[in-house]
Structure 1
């Protein structure tokens, strides 16, 4: 596969493999001399001059003048078998190419495997993949290539702005359908997948406020997605819409949808906003957030999410911790726990200054919660996490138990 990099979050398959998601791959490509990018390169934020990491200065592979198609090798989901050191990682191109944040996998009631994915950039989209073949727990080898063939879809949300709810539909991204033709610039299905963003725009997908993590409720009735923030919301190119109702969205929100008849392969769904993050200490309008956000639990930029076995939703943030202006009193990045039935939200922990809290994962018995503390200190005031004293700050993984050693699900 000639490498994988800028791996973000993940997904765990029912057959025991691990999905790693390639995100900001545009940081690695540029050109030594100024160059006019193609329309496709612009859509994927590939720069026509010096890149963020400047790899093109040292390896012509990453120079888009010399190798204009090299960026197309990246921006995929990669399937890895962690239990077999001899296995070869596979880029699952049927899931589309974009800035993958995570992959939320569920087995539908008819056996088809469904993968939900977000494209983490302002004004990009939410995707769904439905496998061609069905999962069979009695045939583990047969399951290994379930992500190799299937149909990719992108979401369109319809609804009333004031009610924060509505209906939606999944739009198929298949060559020859919905305007995805040779005349539109797609020679075949491979190009639809390589340029999934372009395809999503042509079929009329909804532009979202940076879709990040997606999680499926344990009872499979509902899917949740964090929309972390979007300073461009309200511009001519990105007007407010149902699930993205606030201009200059500094705080983010969580949208959820309910597949029609509980069928994750159904192309219709109903959606609502589970919460709007905000600062009720500073504002008393929509920027204060929904009623379940209070001065005691307020936060901004929800990023990671996941469910425990009891169906509680855990929310991790990667936002602004300046504690000034519109972010006054919000503290450092944090992890919260919420009840989807009542909407109640409680802060569980806060991280050290400058960090992102990420990588939520429960042990199989739900007695241990793992969470990552990423880049403590960053460009803020000095941090000495986790060792203290005068030590340098280090990213780390925390392991959390209840004092009574019981399950988090109790």
Structure 2
């Protein structure tokens, strides 16, 4: 049962529910550094400057949200302007209907130090930091930890979560990223040396493959205590094969070691897992100078160029993390990696054809003619959305032949154009602009290898649209549309001009739970972007787009919930990852809620009469981030990865701000599952 504890104040928070420490360890505090994208690319605002109605909206947004303007446009807007040409509406998708109706009770905003679930549901931890993964793993003991032990145990700060099937339907494989570590919460004060902490931290990063087993028949899963032959740990030292055109470049090469800073990911039709290397820039130190030829590239990716010591100081035990000594090592980070969970002896791959950037994830779909498309977001203020389309076709009868599909094809970046707000909605058209194929670059002055290594620069050159932290990008399996989480951008309206795809110059937030709404500059609560590609075909380069959700408190005038009645929705802030249930309903996890409450997972129909009705499904413990989410194929289980519980600026191992999951006197990030007491479909 859910454990309700006394409400906890927002101690040590900086960006909503995020602490300064979270910002430092997770992304090297990128918000306080110069913005890497200084391209000055054209904004939709410029394209639409001639439209009087648009100028009026922008003037209102720049001056502050008033009693009229944005709210009127949003509340009265249809879901999309041209339903016939864009395939909108419930009748277009027979998969939507009462079977997929979301009827779960609403979890209210709260500051509990636990997972809070709807009435009639229960939850349990599946696996957590330190649990055994490989044979020989010792019993977890933070006072007797070693790198060797950690490399056999479940890693820290689980993020992307995927379940792949086995022949026994009571068994399955969990594949999970371990994004980053917080050494303040992991280690007793004064117990370990800097070198020991670095080595253990490197072993706590990476990925894990763990066999699970069902508990009963209602939807609960747990770690299979009989350690499976499939179980695997990948760390910051694991050998990777580098594939694709960039492997021929001396800066990259054909071999790389380790993966770290991994955020979201995806699963391929042939059953391998893709994982996006995201905030890799914060792992490198500079002890002296770096060669001049690397400085511009470093800056574009937020990599340090002057003497710097990172929070983890991995360079103490491994010189490849000192860019003065090994200046090209950083070019082996920032890729999408591919892991075969069914073959623990296989060498994982870094797929360079998908470009080098801060990948939030990499989600896969099949085009109308049988090729593979991969979508990914570059998670930083002002960065871009990307798509890769393979040259070869997927062969469902020959798994091995599919392994090279991600090495040949074309990489694209997105450009958005607004149509003005006279139609009462933020929408327009867009184009996937080709950057390079595996054989030919489409960016003037850049080779194929250069486009793939400095993909951000290529996006700058072709005029891609700068977005508000594009994170998870996924294709709905029922309606075929693409949904992207644009988490936030407090600089929107300042150094990043507003445009129709990124319209907010002012947002409303709460300093405390239940406190008054306070006006602050920028897009603080984020958006959910909905894209309809021409012909519903992932191979096409043209698309329509609309802002499906303008997130925030429904009491704030700037918010918009797909046209649904704002008095009947849950407040939602800072969408991070998205997923779908079997009926095509959208599930959203949040990171950095600025409305005074814990982060959580939210459900929302994308079609039918309740399109846009956001309902909070669960909340995660105090100061934690909700990662995942994932709904099982039978719709009986929802999984959530609880990352950095209790990560406040004041917390230490001895004096934690959270003890979730309440098995120890310190917090342990973990993956949990949620199911209904009656064993029926979650959400409905």
1:275 pairs with 2:549: yes
Post-superposition Cα deviations, 1:320-346, rounded to whole Å, max 9, x if no partner, equal: 35xxxxx3xx41101110000111111
- Alpha carbons of 1:51 and 1:110: their partners in 2 closer, same or farther (altered >3 Å)? farther
- Alpha carbons of 1:296 and 1:166: their partners in 2 closer, same or farther (altered >3 Å)? closer
Distance in 1 between residues matched to 2:361 and 2:634, nearest whole Å: 23
Query: What's the offset of the Cα at 1:362?
Result: 2.5
Count of matched residue positions in the alignment of Structure 1 and Structure 2:
393
Aligned to 2:530: 256
1:350 pairs with 2:624: no
Moved more, 394-403 or 17-26: 394-403
Query: What's the offset of the Cα at 1:51?
Result: 4.1
- Alpha carbons of 1:355 and 1:409: their partners in 2 closer, same or farther (altered >3 Å)? closer
Gaps of 5+ in 1: 322-326
Query: What's the offset of the Cα at 1:262?
Result: 1.3
TM-score, normalization by structure 1: 0.91
Aligned to 2:643: 374
Query: What's the offset of the Cα at 1:58?
Result: 4.1
Moved more, 26-35 or 98-107: 26-35
Distance in 2 between residues matched to 1:301 and 1:343, nearest whole Å: 16
Aligned to 1:113: 372
Distance in 1 between residues matched to 2:466 and 2:450, nearest whole Å: 21
Give the SS at the match of 1:26. helix
Query: What's the offset of the Cα at 1:409?
Result: 7.5
Distance in 2 between residues matched to 1:205 and 1:374, nearest whole Å: 32
Pairing of 1:19-168 with structure 2 (within 5 A): 19-33=274-288, 38-48=295-305, 49-52=307-310, 53-162=312-421, 163-168=425-430
Higher helix share: 2
Distance in 1 between residues matched to 2:299 and 2:417, nearest whole Å: 28
Aligned to 1:360: 629
Query: Which is greater in Rg?
Result: 2
Aligned to 2:499: 241
- Residues 30, 54 of structure 1: 8 Å contact kept: yes
The CA RMSD measured in Å over matched residues stands at 2.0
Aligned to 1:336: 602
Distance in 2 between residues matched to 1:30 and 1:239, nearest whole Å: 33
Aligned to 1:174: 436
Query: What's the offset of the Cα at 1:177?
Result: 5.1
Gaps of 5+ in 2: 1-255, 506-521, 652-656
Post-superposition Cα deviations, 1:210-267, rounded to whole Å, max 9, x if no partner, equal: 011111111252000000001121234x211221111211110010100101111111
* 2:589 paired residue among 291, 316, 338: 316
1:12 pairs with 2:271: no
Aligned to 1:324: none
Query: What's the offset of the Cα at 1:94?
Result: 0.3
* 1:266 paired residue among 526, 540, 543: 540
Query: What's the offset of the Cα at 1:84?
Result: 0.5
Distance in 2 between residues matched to 1:112 and 1:312, nearest whole Å: 25
- Residues 97, 195 of structure 1: 8 Å contact kept: yes
Post-superposition Cα deviations, 1:376-395, rounded to whole Å, max 9, x if no partner, equal: 1110782221126x721221
Give the SS at the match of 1:366. coil
Higher strand share: 1
Post-superposition Cα deviations, 1:112-155, rounded to whole Å, max 9, x if no partner, equal: 10000000000000000000100011111111111111110000
- Alpha carbons of 1:40 and 1:169: their partners in 2 closer, same or farther (altered >3 Å)? same
Moved more, 14-23 or 3-12: 3-12
Distance in 1 between residues matched to 2:560 and 2:325, nearest whole Å: 48
Distance in 2 between residues matched to 1:307 and 1:46, nearest whole Å: 35
- Alpha carbons of 1:353 and 1:161: their partners in 2 closer, same or farther (altered >3 Å)? farther
- Residues 279, 295 of structure 1: 8 Å contact kept: no
